[in-house]
Amino acid sequence: MPAPAISETLKTSNGRFTTEVLTTSAGTAAGDTLVIFYASDFFSLATMPDVTSSAGTPTLEHTTEVGTNLGHIKAYTLAVTSSGSKTVTIPAHVDCDIFGVVLRIPAAITVDDHQGQIDTTETLTAHVAPSVTTLGADRLLAIAWLGTNVNTGWSNPPYTAPGSMTERAQPHSSPYAALMVATQEISASGATGTRTATFFRAESYGAASLALAGPAGAASDLGPTTYARRRRVPLLVR
């Protein structure tokens, strides 16, 4: 069977202290799965709120904490039970820049494995995401990298994806941090090996790797990524 497909990608566009609501297309169907990455650049993981959705309550699958006041990543899955557009609310984290990416997969998904990795030395441009173990053939490897503690200077886009992977989204870049999500179809079972993204300068980072399994008959990912509409909800001005 082919690896799980991605039929739609959504990403935040502002992220400076505001909640953002991302809306999937009308083609969203019962049986789809939303894979959601949510990141913040400051304070602590414990103070981050949770993502919410009109499709139901997302399941928190993984967290990576770079460190207090350095950045944090949460990864969720959400099974869609009714057809039609769904909202995903990426909540503001008070006085923090926030980032969100949603991947819509037209199949039921389970998580084989998830792992996180951090480095706080501020000496590396090579940001290594950890290996995960697939429990069978034809999986989808999904990784989020968060480069953080960028205080001066900037480059856009700040990340370059590993050559074997497909970049799915780099949301807006705040003055202090940047998020990238990329995926790769994995044909064999076992350890995927690490993946290295290149950041534009040496900074602290965190990465979250997920191995995603779909049911037999899931369509292969042949089409281009579609960015869905989004609306901003002002919350706070720092």
Q: Residues 114, 98: contact at Cβ < 8 Å? A: no
Cβ-Cβ contacts under 8 Å for 35 (sequence gap 6 or more): 75, 76, 77, 102, 103, 105, 109, 142, 210, 212
Nearest residue to 43 via CA among 83, 4, 97, 90: 97
pLDDT, residue 100, reads 96
From the list 34, 2, 4, 6, the residue with the least C-alpha distance to 223 is 6
Q: C-alpha angle 9/227/81, rounded to 5°?
A: 50
Q: What is the pTM of this model?
A: 0.89
CA distance 168 to 196: 15
Q: What is the pLDDT of residue 72?
A: 95
pLDDT tens-digit profile, the chain (238 residues): 688 989 999 999 976 778 999 999 999 999 999 999 999 998 999 999 999 999 999 999 999 999 999 899 999 999 999 999 999 999 999 888 999 999 999 999 999 999 999 999 999 999 999 999 999 999 999 999 999 988 767 788 999 999 999 999 999 767 889 999 999 999 999 999 999 999 999 999 999 999 999 985 333 333 333 333 334 444 333 3
Q: 47 φ, ψ to 5°?
A: -95, -5
Q: What angle do CA 44, 155, 140 make, to 5 degrees?
A: 65
Q: What is the rounded CA–CA span in Å between residue 148 and residue 157?
A: 14
Tell whether omega for the bond before 215 is within 30 degrees of 0, i.e. cis. Answer: no
